Amino acid sequence: MSGVQIMNARMLEGMRRACQLAADTLLMVGEHLRPGMRTDEIDKLVHDYTVEHGAWPSPLNYNGFPKSVCTSVNEVVCHGIPGPQKLKEGDIVNVDVTSYLPKTDGYHGDTSATFYVGEVSEEARHVTEVSRQCLELGISVVKAGARIGDIGAAIQEFAEAQGCGVVRDYVGHGIGREFHTAPQIPHYGAAGSGKRLKGGMVFTIEPMINAGHWACKVDQDEWTVRTADGSLSAQFEHTILVTGAGSEVLTARKALLRQSEDRPFAKLGPKSCPASLTGT
Ligand code: MF3
Ligand code: CO
Ligand code: CO
């Protein structure tokens, strides 16, 4: 007994529904996002959409979190609290949606993405695209029999080759009837280390990637996490089911995310770090 839940078909049915709602919510946010919007307008959109679909926004009142979604702008790494802050042209903002769907036995689905507010700097684009690709790379090594450390190793190797830092203080997590449960999924580490993955395990992969050093600090509000060096930070998150063949992305989207995935970008090579980040 590893202590990690193995989900059966019925549980997975509930997970798929909660995860699909979270994915649809993120698509909806992309339709509405624009410069000048306050982050608490995003919160209202997410709250209302979630409730209209018979669900509850998991962040609301979770360990005292005061809002229905996390909105993390620029150097905010994660857990940004929506408020009066207006998004301005050139900002990047991560929107992290978690939906709890009580009608299918009560499962949580967790997914996030970083959006571009208008035109952004080369550096903002770089850290965002590195984090997007880090999530894809992490997912690509998931398979029954692989080890948890394989995920972090794939992510860390790529991010650091791109001149970016991988946040260590916050990790991916098991998810199901609870929001955060075993196992922990670090986004750094050594291949071949850690517990073996088994078919039916469900967890998130959610690399937080900094344009500078990986170190973080937490604001006095005890939620808002910022890069210690003030550098930009970006994140993408999916909820993943381990299968024998590889994985199923439970929070996969039905369409491209507006203000993010619809921006054409060159697939990053193994080492395509802009000079502004390497200092060369
Ligand atoms: N959704 C975040 C995660 O990916 C957790 C947010 S906790 C909250 O794990 F309380 F800030 F909402
Ligand atoms: Co999340
Ligand atoms: Co998560």
Residues 138-160: pLDDT tens digits? Answer: 999 999 999 999 999 999 999 99
Q: Which ligand is nearest to the CA of 111?
A: 2
Closest-lying ligand 1 atom to the alpha carbon of residue 173: 9
Gap between the Cα atoms of 178 and 105, Å rounded? 12
The pair of structure tokens assigned to 254 is 């039905």
CATH superfamily, domain at 9-249: Creatinase/methionine aminopeptidase superfamily (3.90.230.10)
Residue nearest to atom 11 of ligand 1 (CA): 79
CA of 112 to the centre of ligand 3 (A): 8
Residue 204, φ and ψ in degrees, nearest 5: -95, 150
Task: Please tell me whether the overall predicted TM-score, pTM, comes out greater than 0.75 for this model.
Answer: yes
Residues 98-152: pLDDT tens digits? Answer: 999 999 999 999 999 999 999 999 999 999 999 999 999 999 999 999 999 999 9
Taking Cα atoms as reference points, which of 194, 198, 112 lies closest to residue 153? 194
What does the DSSP 8-state code read for residue 196?
Answer: B
Residues 43-57: pLDDT tens digits? Answer: 999 999 999 999 999
Residue 56: predicted pLDDT: 98
Residues 178-193: pLDDT tens digits? Answer: 999 999 999 999 999 9
Taking Cα atoms as reference points, which of 2, 11, 17 lies closest to residue 200? 11
**Are residues 238 and 205 in contact, defined by beta-carbon separation less than 8 angstroms?**
yes
Taking Cα atoms as reference points, which of 247, 211, 237 lies closest to residue 130? 211
Closest-lying ligand 1 atom to the alpha carbon of residue 204: 4
List CB-based neighbours of ion ligand 3 within 5 Å: 110, 204, 206
